[in-house]
Structures are given as structure tokens and as C-alpha cells.
Amino acid sequence: MNEEFRVTMLGEFTIEYGDSIISDQSNRSKKVWTLLEYIIVHRKRFVSQDELIDLLWSDSNSRDPINTLKVLMHRVRSTLEDLDFEDSRRMILYRNGAYGWNQDYTCVTDIDEFQRLIYESDQETEDDARKIALLLQAESLYQGHFLQKKASEPWVIPIANYYRTLYNRVVLDLAHMLFEHKKYEQLASVCQKAILFEPYEEQFYIYLIQVLICTGHLEKALDLYHHVTDLFMKELGVTPSEELRALYKDVVKTIKTPEMNLSVIKSKLDESREEIGCVFCEYEFFKLVYRLETRSIGRTGDTSFLCLISAVDKNTVGIPSRRVLNRSMDALKTTIQYNIRSGDVFTRYSVNQYLIMLPYTTTETANMVAQRLLKVFRKEFPNISIVLKYSTQQIMPKADCFIKD
């Protein structure tokens, strides 16, 4: 007997036999699918009734759990009948107080195929084209995290994490090879899909930005950089890595095409003056402005100050919850942008801080500016439950301790 069933578990759970298919997207009991999935995942052995009862009803006090399990297994077998397989009742067997997959029926799963392709790609050390082909096949099988509808269940979590780790490795290995062979279109497609599954994996964004740079889409590369830095700051509270910042610098250096007509250049510069409010910039650009300011005050003898404004929880004096923090930082950005001089610049320094440069100011005026910003914030956003704290420090001709590398 050589009956074959094809099972997918990376993303949607499905069982396919011939032209028939059943899926966890259908309107059936969650426990029906959990029991069927667990049996198939552990299809190499028979699973005891006690193990299944603990899996399905660990938090209940059923008076007759064994009979309840029998009823549920009957419903599982009824679900399998939808495959139009004449012997569907024998797909799952009962033996000595345990249930298991009938080994007479071949069960081909995407997770086994996924691992096989990865193993074969690891063994391929000479033929890059074949290695790329194997990795692409493995990557194509990953249509979502392992049993994604059961992502929060304790028994699923470690297995899902294992396959996520494998998938991330596949993408990075594949991205490295596709980039080396200048297969930019394929690389972009792979990274865009990976970002949907792993939105906080910075390396995927780095490869995608590199593709945009190599294909001449520099403005899009900058837009993606801004998106990533904002996402990571808001969701994770982290700043870009050195590698990502280096890409930003490369884009900024090359984004302007040669222009011989000075009047054209001036008109483009004038366009930037139409923006209302002071200048919000990336931290890398802020550092450049800061260094220029240290040189300027060294020549002129003027005084300039840095102002650091922090948003803290009003009860714990720590960082607020993510929801409150994101709302607070958006509101604080608006407050700063429209309430200091248009020639001043500021940047987001950390997850809960903005750093402002105040040229041509004294200690007194720098503190007055900070206090005014706090007052305006409280007036404009009275319902945001945070406390704003500030500190000021004079910019000296040499590098200041406020500025991190």
C-alpha cells in the first residue's frame, strides 16, 4: 500500500490527498485541529491518551476525559473523510491506550522537505547555481510561521522558533549569494517576503537598501532607512547599527547628480526653505551639524547649547509603556518643531529623548527655551500622562560628552 498525503505546516495547516484538501481555515473546532496537528507532528510514534488529555484539557476538570477524547477523535476522523479517501477511518489508529498515524500511509510534510533542502544546500560547496536553487526552493516552502494559527500554544512555540531560526538562516545565506551574483530582483523579492515574517530583523533591511542603492533607487533607499530607524526606535527602542548608518552615509554622499548650473542648484536648495518649523534630522546628520558648530564657536567665541528633553513615566520615573511612549514622542516632536527657531535643528537621541541644538544662546536663554517647550507641551497635550525632564549643556570647541559615537 502506498497512499500519500501531503501536509503543510509552515503557515496554514493543510492535508492534501489527490484533488482533495482540508485546511485549518475551515470552520471547525480549534481542538479538532489541535489534535490532528499534534498527531501528525508526532507521527513517528503513538501518543498516549494522558499526553493528549494534558495537551487539550490541562486547565479543566473533566469528569470523563478519556471518553471526551474519544468523542473528539471521532470528529477528527469525520474531518478526514472530507479528503475523499475511502479508508480515512484508518488514517489514525488506536493501540494500547494511545493514538498514532497509520505508518502504512506516507505523510509528506513541508517541514521535512524544508530541512532536506537546507541540508543539501549545506553540502553543496562547489556549484553556486545549484546551491542558490536549493535555497530558493527551501525559501519558497516557508509560507508563514509553523502552525501560525496556534502560535501562542506552549507546545508550538519551541518548534516554531526552531523553524524561524532555520528560515532566517536560509534568507541570509541566500541574500549573501544573490548579492554576490548581482541577482538584485530575486534578492529584493526574498527580502520583502522575509520582512513580512520578521519585521525586526535588521539584516533583511540592509540587503534591501543595498539593492536599492545598486539599482540606482537612492531616494527609495533613504525612505526605507527612515522607515527602519523609526520602526526600531518606536517598537524596540534601539538605534540603527553601524552597518545601517554606514549605508545611510553612502546614500547621502551619492544621492545628488552632477549639476553645472549654480542657479538650478540654488533653486533646489530654496525648495527646502518652504518647510515650516525648525529642522528635524537623522542623528548622523545632527552629529555633522554639531561638529560644524564646535568649529564655528571656536572661531567666533559665541556660545551655543545642547538641550536634552526626556519623556518619563509619571509614577516610576522610567520609560513609559510603548503605547504611551509613542504617542508622547510624536507629540513632543510636534512641540519642538513648531516652538523653536526655524534655523535650529533637533534629532531623536534615544527611545524617549530628543536632542536640540541651540546656537547663539546663553545658559539663561537655553533654560528658558526648554521650560517654554515643557509648558507648551503640557498645554497642547494635557491628557498624555508623562513627565518631561530636561537638561542643558554648553557646547565647547572640543567634542562634547553628550554626543555618542
* Every domain of the chain and the residues it spans: 3-109, 125-254, 278-394
Strand pairing of 105-109 and 3-8? Answer: parallel
Residue 337 clears pLDDT 60, i.e. is over it: yes
Name the phi and psi angles at 313, rounded to 5.
-65, 135
Could you tell me how far CA 143 lies from the centroid of its own chain?
Answer: 16
The single-letter DSSP state of residue 240 is P
Which residues lie across from 266 on neighbouring strands?
none
From 177, 26, 3, 20, select the one nearest 104 (Cα to Cα).
3
Burial-class residue 165 by CB neighbours within 10 Å (0-12, 13-18, 19+). exposed
Domain 278-394 coded CATH 3.30.70.270: yes
Confidence at residue 69, expressed as pLDDT on a 0 to 100 scale = 94
What CATH superfamily classification does 125-254 receive? Tetratricopeptide repeat domain (1.25.40.10)
Q: Which CATH class is domain 3-109?
A: mainly alpha
Residue whose cell numbers read 493543510: 14
226-263 pLDDT, tens digit each: 899 888 888 887 888 889 988 888 887 776 555 455 66
97-130 pLDDT, tens digit each: 999 999 999 999 999 999 999 999 999 999 999 9
Counts of helices then strands in the chain (DSSP H, E): 14, 12
Spatial separation of the C-alpha atoms in residues 172 and 343, rounded to whole Å: 43
What's the whole-number mean pLDDT along residues 146-168?
95
Spatial separation of the C-alpha atoms in residues 289 and 346, rounded to whole Å: 10
Length of the chain as a residue count: 405
Is residue 37 within 8 Å of residue 150, measured between CB atoms?
A: yes
What's the predicted TM-score (pTM) here? 0.77
